Amino acid sequence: MQWEALGEITLLVADTDALNRKLITSLLAKVPTIKIIETENAKETMELLENEKIDMVLLDYHMQHENREETLKSIKKETKYDYIPIIMITTDDGESKNLYANGANDILCKPLKLTKLESTIYKHIEKKQYRENYKPLYSSENTNNLYSTEENYNLKAIEDSQKEIFYGMAMLYSKKYNSANSKVIANIAKEYALVLGYDEEVANNVYYATMIRDIGSLAMTKNIRQDYRFSQKDKELYNHSMLMGYQVVNNSIETNFIKIAKVVIAQRKESYDGSGIPHQLKGDKISPFATIVAVSETFHALLSPRPYRQKETYTPEETYRILAQESNRKFQADMITRFLEHFDNFVQLREKYIRQNALNYSQEAE
């Protein structure tokens, strides 16, 4: 890891236990570019975030009067802290679901290991700097002015309800086809959106839009083949299912989530060179959100077993080369370049999400 390339890093270690704080300080002592500020309670944490230039927070509370989830929520609700990664430290891996739901960027389990601690810090600081540097590339001009400056509480409540309803419908689809892939692809798409410089709110909308991308299939009376060896009739059915899915969400109140969902459903099978479906859109006519999902789908599919292919499963190295070859063919060049710059991280994330899905499935079955 090239720490010097990241420059000076200010790390806020928030823990009620002084010994735990000292342990982290000693573990990271050999990284001269890391400056550590220690704090022992929520109030000090918020004050330091307000008054110091903090690059990352390691958060771990255990005393009864401290609620780390509430502290996490307090940090995440402030948009000025959007780029600051919050890494939760816990002794219970089972807490991860709630912590991620409340906005944690990553989780470290005790006992802490130096290699894991260093790699986690490096990865998230690199991502933070990337998002800060490249955000102008994905400004409102490129997102079709999806986000207004005025916040409307009622519209936000409607949006939350839409996500809940459509997510429930997506789960029906997943069960119908016994698909374990949707959450993996959605998590990859969310992470990809963050890498591209979008904020947490947009990335979460991308996640939910990815989850419902095939929602039109629920309205079909005939099952669409899932092995991707489409006949002409299958292609017509698939095109029709995309239209049905678009109509389902298009009839909803126009929230930021719905705007993203519509382009994901309608455009993710389009190709940058105009050879895609259903409308042969070309170049900048294709939304970057649709490309995020398309890249995530293709990446996961290449690394997954597909019995109908001549080569059933591709290696990460082969997958990298295939994706690189699709620059300015299937995918916009800058976007696929950004993905490939973080390729190893995406491979690790995919494996992590697959393990999480397997664990959740086994727990549900018990």
Q: What is the pLDDT of residue 229?
A: 55
Q: Give, to the nearest 10 degrees, the angle between helix 288-303 and helix 333-341.
A: 50
Q: Which amino acid is at 45?
A: T
Give CA–CA dist 201/124, Å, rounded: 18
| Low-confidence stretches of the chain (pLDDT beneath 50) | 63-65, 136-153, 176-178, 221, 224-227, 361-366
Strand 56-60 to 34-39 pairing = unpaired
Strand 86-90 to 56-60 pairing = parallel
Contact status, residue 38 vs residue 25, Cβ threshold 8 Å: yes
Q: E strands, the chain, where?
A: 9-15, 34-39, 56-60, 86-90, 106-109
Give the DSSP per-residue string, 309-352. SSSSS--HHHHHHHHHHTBTTTB-HHHHHHHHHTHHHHHHHHHH
Give CA–CA dist 259/77, Å, rounded: 23
Q: Which amino acid is at 96?
A: S
Q: What is the pLDDT of residue 304?
A: 92
Q: What is the pLDDT of residue 341?
A: 94
Q: What is the pLDDT of residue 153?
A: 46
Would you mind telling me the total number of residues written for the chain in this entry?
366
Distances (CA, A) of 279 to 266, 268, 282, 286, 336: 9, 11, 9, 10, 22
3-state secondary structure of 287: coil
Contact status, residue 181 vs residue 214, Cβ threshold 8 Å: no
Neighbouring-strand partners of residue 34: 9
Give the DSSP per-residue string, 88-149. EEES-GGGHHHHHHTT-SEEEESSP-HHHHHHHHHHHHHHHHHHHHHGGGGSTTTTTT---S
Q: What is the pLDDT of residue 174?
A: 56
Can you read off the two tokens belonging to residue 249?
């969400």
Give CA–CA dist 294/277, Å, rounded: 12
Nearest to 284 by CA among 263, 303, 308, 315: 263
Residue 57 has φ and ψ, to the nearest 5°, of -120, 130
Give CA–CA dist 216/240, Å, rounded: 8
Domains of the chain: 3-137 (3.40.50.2300), 139-365 (1.10.3210.10)
Distances (CA, A) of 135 to 138, 197, 239, 340: 5, 5, 34, 18
Residue 132 has φ and ψ, to the nearest 5°, of -65, -40
pLDDT digits (tens, 9 = 90+) for 92-102: 766 666 677 67
